[in-house]
Structure 1
Amino acid sequence: MQEEIIERIILKTVDIPSLPPIAMKVMGLIYDDHASLKALEEIISRDQGFATRLLRIANSPYYGRDRKIENISQAILLIGFETLKSLVIATSLRDLYRNFGVFEQRLWEHSLGVALCSSLLAMATQMVTSDEALVCGLIHDVGKTVINNAMPEVYFQIYEKMYKENRPVIEIEDETLGFNHTLIGNLIAKKWKLPEKLEMVITYHHTNPYPDYEDQAFADICNIVRVADQICLNLGIGLKEPFITQIDFESLGLTEDAINELIGLFKIKFDQQKDYLLS
């Protein structure tokens, strides 16, 4: 009952966007066992923006290819259906940044940093696949984007208050709005019918300890994204909090030396790839 009341309050304040039509069509084809690669290629080719982003990512340093990927079918075969699902969600998320000023740029850059760092942590720990970690990191703060679109002046003031009072942003969101970006994100995940792992990350990336999971993989991916978020906040990737967050590397079974080495690698990789990711 309390959840229904909170949801009604949120929906009166913030418009929860739908998954864009192109994304719905692509996701439908990916989940259709009888759909052909040609049909998927035709749908993607109708949306120039999405097709361009797909080719850009297929040719990015992330995939390290020697030859240029020049068409949609090659790109799909290279990145695979699982990554394509992630890319559809990522592109839909990118399209939420309607008012793209300096603040929005920082929100987006932070999400991209967490995505790349999550991917590296996944490779280091072998807890989840790197592609899965990439999209989980990318979409973890989707609730912030939606709140900012609905009330940009108020949300900017929330961040100003965070810096002034040296407190976590989620605390000030609850205080100012009566809800926070994880609750908004949870509603979006449900409306978009996102996979359960994504919903868990969006909802619980600030929660510690986490709820009891039937599947340990849910706890693993939440831990990976939480640690990646801590690293990016401390490095000031996109948005820097006014305090140093302790990095909970032990939750991933990593040593301090291992996490420091990974942070060094992440800084190099992010500098190399951010131009591809940010455009």
Structure 2
Amino acid sequence: MSLLMMWIAGVLALALAWWFFRRPTPTATASPHVAVQRVSTPAPKASPPTAAPAQVPTLREPVAPVQEPLPASLSEFRWLGAQDMEPAHRDTLLTAVRGIPKPPRSMQKLLSPDFVARAGSAELSDLVMGEPLIAAKILSTVNAPIYGLHTPVTNIGQAVTFLGMNTVRSICLQYMLAEAFKPKLAEAQRSFDAIWKASAIASELCVRLAKALNLPDQGTLSTQVVLSFVGQLATASLIPMSGLEKWLDRGRLERARLEQELLGLNATEIGGLLMKSWELPEELVNDVSGVGRQLVTPFMSTDPKRAPRFALGYLCARLGERLALGQLESLEGYSSQQDGGVDTYHLRASLSHPALAKLDQALASPELQATVDQMLGRVAAEA
């Protein structure tokens, strides 16, 4: 009996040991039948929104300013090029343009890129002295009261010393162009005189403003401003006498519209054709045309490198016209950004370029305003 009891006890002991080793062990993973208590963590506080960094305007990437709506008269105007004309009409206009006498060949040298970039006062003096009539006119102009020289200038070298290369080059260019444009009728003399006066004022403004704004290639820019009047001089030579009087007193946009109606192209495009026939450097002709096209060229469509130069050139040409025609009495109180009107619609946006930030300050310079008054003859009249 004792043996039986011992055998039963052994079996129970083995069963208990087997159960102990086979039982499931607790784990960190809860049974699917047990709810898991989730510990919630507070959501991070939202940080206040930060303003995006301001875009700093650069010379290469100017920021387009906000503008008023495009005037209907400007949006409806179509700027025509030679390629838009009928072949027969284009050939007729080209023949008329080529009939305008060429200026002295020395003008081509004066405008050559190499001469503009490298010539000094001695080279300029030699070039001018090769045209005795032009040299005499330059000396007469330099000794006029406008420049306020205390000592009479007797040679071109002295003129360059007193006035600088850019001013003398511009005066020289104006007189060289005068050889090509002479009115055939006395009635047209008023128009030509007004254009020449506008050209002189615009050139002087450009020389002084470009220097005040520290723009590069100031001599080239003043040259482009003078040449921007070539198209107007050519138009005055070609336009029918019956339309000449009402043409000159109009604004730029209305004038361009009338030019296209009477001649097929506007003055800027006609000037480009004429300068090409004179075999002037192509890049120079394109830049001169670029100045005139600012009338219809949106700010962001202009090459950023040329934008401030084209804008200043167009402004100087426009101011020269208005001052010469009596549409603007002086520069006193003038603000480029407040110069409203369709002719300056695109210009107002272009003048926001960082390189022109100090333009209104330069325009308000007493010295510049006194120069304009002298060019208009007011100082002499008051004296």
| Aligned residue in 2 for 1:226 | 314
Deviation at 1:186, TM superposition (A): 0.8
Give % identity. 18
Q: Distance in 2 between matches of 1:151 and 1:94?
A: 18
Contact 1:201 1:221 in 2 (8 A): no
Deviation at 1:190, TM superposition (A): 2.1
Cα–Cα, structure 1 residues 159 and 51, in superposed 2: closer, same or farther, change >3 Å? same
Q: Distance in 1 between matches of 2:375 and 2:226?
A: 14
Contact 1:118 1:228 in 2 (8 A): yes
Deviation at 1:65, TM superposition (A): 5.0
| Aligned residue in 1 for 2:297 | 208
Residues 94-133 of structure 1: matches in 2 within 5 Å? 94-99=178-183, 101-133=189-221
Task: Give CA-to-partner distance per residue, 1:41-69, whole Å, 9 cap, x none.
Answer: 56644533211123235545776654333
Match of 2:370 among 252, 268, 277: 268
Contact 1:142 1:202 in 2 (8 A): no
Pairwise CA RMSD: 4.3
Cα–Cα, structure 1 residues 13 and 244, in superposed 2: closer, same or farther, change >3 Å? farther
Alignment gaps of 5+ in structure 1:
none
Contact 2:224 2:287 in 1 (8 A): no
Structure 1 SS opposite 2:152? coil
Q: Distance in 2 between matches of 1:209 and 1:16?
A: 33
Task: Give CA-to-partner distance per residue, 1:49-103, whole Å, 9 cap, x none.
Answer: 2111232355457766543332234445666666665444322222234126222
The more displaced of 145-154 and 41-50 is 41-50
Task: Give CA-to-partner distance per residue, 1:156-197, whole Å, 9 cap, x none.
Answer: 15517948xx96211221122211111111122223314734
Q: Distance in 2 between matches of 1:133 and 1:239?
A: 25
Deviation at 1:118, TM superposition (A): 2.0
Q: Distance in 1 between matches of 2:110 and 2:284?
A: 20
The more displaced of 265-274 and 179-188 is 265-274
Residues 37-186 of structure 1: matches in 2 within 5 Å? 44-45=128-129, 47-59=131-143, 66-75=150-159, 85-99=169-183, 101-156=189-244, 159=247, 162=250, 168-186=254-272
Match of 1:196 among 283, 286, 291: 283
- Of Structure 1 and Structure 2, the greater helix share is in 1
Cα–Cα, structure 1 residues 127 and 167, in superposed 2: closer, same or farther, change >3 Å? closer
Contact 1:148 1:155 in 2 (8 A): no
Number of aligned residue pairs: give it.
267
Alignment gaps of 5+ in structure 2:
1-81, 329-338, 378-383
Give the aligned residue type for 1:209: P
Q: Distance in 2 between matches of 1:43 and 1:196?
A: 22
Deviation at 1:122, TM superposition (A): 1.1
Q: Distance in 2 between matches of 1:121 and 1:40?
A: 23
| Aligned residue in 1 for 2:3 | none
Q: TM-score, normalised by structure 1?
A: 0.72
Contact 1:83 1:132 in 2 (8 A): no
Q: Distance in 2 between matches of 1:2 and 1:67?
A: 53
Deviation at 1:239, TM superposition (A): 6.4
Larger Cα Rg: Structure 1 or Structure 2? Answer: 2
Cα–Cα, structure 1 residues 223 and 62, in superposed 2: closer, same or farther, change >3 Å? farther
Contact 2:247 2:255 in 1 (8 A): yes
